[in-house]
């Protein structure tokens, strides 16, 4: 099934395949605001209700699959690359940081949509240029961002692709905020644990910026690699980590998963090799969601002593770069 629907006053695309159903809002960053597994009765992503639409419009990062470009924070809203200074507005006054970028709120267009017996595909595009002042003003590169979703019996595959249409090398850093519902299929918060492919903890300053120190995992956070950590109805978590694969069911796993220890139901969020860093944030710990946020670069990477070691990269004129994710329940 593939159709256009009204979502509390916003134009949306609803599509289903197998046990999965999804809802996409192109005009808000091509955000996939709902993904559910109907067989398990699992609501995987936090979806805005009718009374939360204004919150969604002002803070899309706490719903669905919001794109962060650049991800997380930039100190003082500024960095320099190849002699050019990029200056963003300060969005967190108390920290003097810029955060989360603007693409999460920009209107994409649906450029392709089709359904076959095996899958549904929806492709959305955004073009940045001098006429799109919201992005181009602070990031003066012409580029195309394409976000494609494939839904099948195996769940959701998502690809984000950036093509550099400018004449200069273009810095690229991307993340997704990804609030996973916990509980997602009945029970209490205490029934659920999260595991994440984390390596070392990245020490953060009072401004929530990396200090340059990488620390061994604490007893608390080592549970992310092993038996799992309760991340809702608990203490606040806002922490950064390097990525190191973990063992899940006897196989190497690069991603995050949430498990209901009582029923065995699990949500899997797989990431590809472009993800090098995680932020984990539970918005104070007393809300029914937690965000394992995959990032292609470490928070504030352009301003760190060795940016390339922290995932900072650039795309040459005429070339493209992409990340791929897989989200599903079992």
Per-residue pLDDT, 303: 98
Residue 256 above 90 pLDDT? Answer: yes
Distance CA 216, CA 317 (A): 39
Distance CA 194, CA 54 (A): 30
Per-residue pLDDT, 161: 98
What residue segments make up the domains of the chain, in order of their start? Answer: 2-329
The counts of H helices and E strands in the chain are: 3, 29
Closest alpha carbon to 309 in 238, 221, 225, 210 = 210
Residue 134 above 90 pLDDT? Answer: no
Distance CA 217, CA 38 (A): 36
* Burial readout 295-310 (b: 16 or more C-beta within 10 A, e: otherwise): bbbbbbbbbbeebeeb
The whole-number average pLDDT for the span 186-194 is: 96
Alpha carbon separation from 133 to 77, 283, 308 (Å, rounded): 17, 31, 29
- Mind giving me the DSSP string for 21-87? EEEEETTTTTEEEEEEETTTTEE-B----GGGHHHHHH-GGGSSS-EEBS-SEEETTEEEETTEEEE
Per-residue pLDDT, 133: 80
H or E segment to which residue 134 belongs: helix 133-136
Residue 132 above 90 pLDDT? Answer: no
CATH 2.70.98.10 for domain 2-329:
yes
Q: What is the pLDDT of residues 87-130, one digit of tens each?
A: 999 999 999 999 999 899 999 999 999 999 999 999 999 999 99
Distance CA 291, CA 280 (A): 6
pTM of the model: 0.96
Question: Helix or strand or coil: residue 105?
Answer: helix
Per-residue pLDDT, 156: 98
Q: Which residues pair with 12 in a beta bridge?
A: 5
Which position has the higher pLDDT, 102 or 158?
A: 158
């Amino acid at each position: 099934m593939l159709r256009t629907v009204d979502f509390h006053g916003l134009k949306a695309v609803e599509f289903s395949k197998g046990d999965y159903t999804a809802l996409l809002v192109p005009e808000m960053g091509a955000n996939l605001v709902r993904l559910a597994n109907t067989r398990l009765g699992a609501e995987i992503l936090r979806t805005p209700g009718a009374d939360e639409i204004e919150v969604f419009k002002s803070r899309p990062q706490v719903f669905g699959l919001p794109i962060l470009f650049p991800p997380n924070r930039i100190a003082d809203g500024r960095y320099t690359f190849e002699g050019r200074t990029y200056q963003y507005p300060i969005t967190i006054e108390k920290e003097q940081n810029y955060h989360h970028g603007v693409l999460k709120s920009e209107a994409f267009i649906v450029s392709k949509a089709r359904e076959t017996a095996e899958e549904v595909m929806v492709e959305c595009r955004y073009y940045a240029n001098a006429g799109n002042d919201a992005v181009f003003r602070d990031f003066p590169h012409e580029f195309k961002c394409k976000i494609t979703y494939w839904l099948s019996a195996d769940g959701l595959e998502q690809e984000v692709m950036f093509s550099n249409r400018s004449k200069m090398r273009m810095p690229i850093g991307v993340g997704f905020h990804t609030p996973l519902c916990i509980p997602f299929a009945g029970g209490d918060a205490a029934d659920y644990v999260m595991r994440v492919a984390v390596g070392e903890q990245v020490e953060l300053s009072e401004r929530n910026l990396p200090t340059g120190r990488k620390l061994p995992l604490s007893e608390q956070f080592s549970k992310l690699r092993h038996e799992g950590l309760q991340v809702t109805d608990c203490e606040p978590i806002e922490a950064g980590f390097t990525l190191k694969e973990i063992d899940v069911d006897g196989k190497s796993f690069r991603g995050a998963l949430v498990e209901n220890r009582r029923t065995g139901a699990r949500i899997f969020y797989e990431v590809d090799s472009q993800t090098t860093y995680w932020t984990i944030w539970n918005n104070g710990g007393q809300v029914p969601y937690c965000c394992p946020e995959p990032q292609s670069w470490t928070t504030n990477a352009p301003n760190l002593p060795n940016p390339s070691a922290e995932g900072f990269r650039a795309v040459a004129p005429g070339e493209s770069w992409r990340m791929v994710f897989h989200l599903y329940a079992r």
